[in-house]
């Protein structure tokens, strides 16, 4: 019974510290150094406690290693889920339309997307538009669906923005 309790404790603790580690890494990449340092402190404190407890257990068991590894794997999953839902990143989206259709621009703007339009030419010198958008990460799925509903041949690229200054973000939530 003692082994089972230890394995469950290790599993849950690893989920916690690895989840914190995933979020900490994203904070650091996004330039939030103090938040990352604070999470790192708690993460390592949990990790140290778990390792110390696992190594001091009187009857070594392969189940301890399994609990440790399973907690690590689940922590990565949870950290990814939390990051997607909690951390508000911004994306730069570029769309090359298959043709010049004003409806695409109008529909994007009606759905509260700020769109900057530039004339461009395709491979065969056919006239197209390149649309530039900056969006919050939680709107990406919605934007992609709208774009492909309006132009199923559109070419779309998405990049994470490190910083965005001024523009449409202050006007619409």
For the cut 90, the answer to whether the pLDDT of residue 83 exceeds it is: no
How much is the average pLDDT of 38-43?
A: 95
**CA 110 vs CA 35, 107, 116, 154: distances in Å:** 37, 5, 14, 19
If pLDDT is split at 50, 70 and 90, which confidence band does 162 have?
confident
**CA 157 vs CA 97, 98, 124, 147: distances in Å:** 12, 14, 21, 12
Beta-sheet pairing, 155-161 with 90-96:
antiparallel
For the cut 80, the answer to whether the pLDDT of residue 125 exceeds it is: yes
The DSSP element (H or E) to which 136 belongs, if any, is: strand 127-136
For the cut 50, the answer to whether the pLDDT of residue 173 exceeds it is: no
How much is the average pLDDT of 65-74?
A: 94
How much is the average pLDDT of 114-127?
A: 89
For the cut 50, the answer to whether the pLDDT of residue 130 exceeds it is: yes
For the cut 90, the answer to whether the pLDDT of residue 153 exceeds it is: yes
What pLDDT sits at residue 41?
96
**CA 162 vs CA 30, 38, 116, 134, 159: distances in Å:** 7, 21, 19, 11, 9
How much is the average pLDDT of 153-162?
A: 91
What pLDDT sits at residue 45?
95
Burial of 140 (0-12, 13-18, 19+ CB in 10 A): middle
Report the C-alpha dihedral over residues 104, 116, 93, 32, rounded to 10 degrees.
-140
> 54 or 15: whose pLDDT is higher?
15
For the chain, percent of residues with pLDDT exceeding 70: 97
Torsion 28-31-37-43 (CA) sign? negative
DSSP secondary structure string for all residues of 70-134: HHHHHHHHHHHHHHHHHS--EEEEEEE-SS--HHHHHHHHHTT---EEEEEE-TTS-EEEEEEEE
> Phi then psi for 164, rounded to 5 degrees?
-130, 130
How much is the average pLDDT of 108-136?
A: 91
What pLDDT sits at residue 85?
78
Q: What is the pTM of this model?
A: 0.64
What is d(CA 12, CA 19) in angstroms, rounded to the nearest whole number? Answer: 11
How much is the average pLDDT of 13-41?
A: 92
């Amino acid at each position: 019974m003692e082994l089972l309790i230890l394995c469950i404790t290790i599993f849950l603790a690893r989920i916690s510290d690895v989840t914190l580690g995933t979020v900490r890494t994203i904070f650091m990449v996004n330039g939030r150094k103090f938040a990352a340092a604070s999470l790192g402190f708690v993460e390592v404190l949990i990790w140290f406690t778990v390792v110390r407890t696992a190594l001091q257990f009187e009857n070594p068991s392969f189940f301890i290693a399994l609990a440790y590894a399973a907690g690590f794997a689940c922590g990565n999953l949870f950290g990814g889920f939390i990051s997607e839902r909690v951390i508000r990143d911004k994306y730069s989206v570029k769309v090359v339309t298959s043709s010049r259709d004003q409806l695409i621009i109008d529909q994007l703007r009606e759905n509260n997307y700020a769109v900057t339009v530039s004339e461009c030419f395709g491979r065969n010198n056919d006239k197209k538009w390149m649309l530039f958008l900056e969006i919050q990460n939680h709107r990406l799925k919605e934007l992609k669906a709208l774009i492909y509903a309006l132009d199923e041949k559109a070419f779309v690229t998405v990049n994470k923005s490190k910083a965005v200054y001024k523009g449409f973000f202050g006007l619409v939530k």
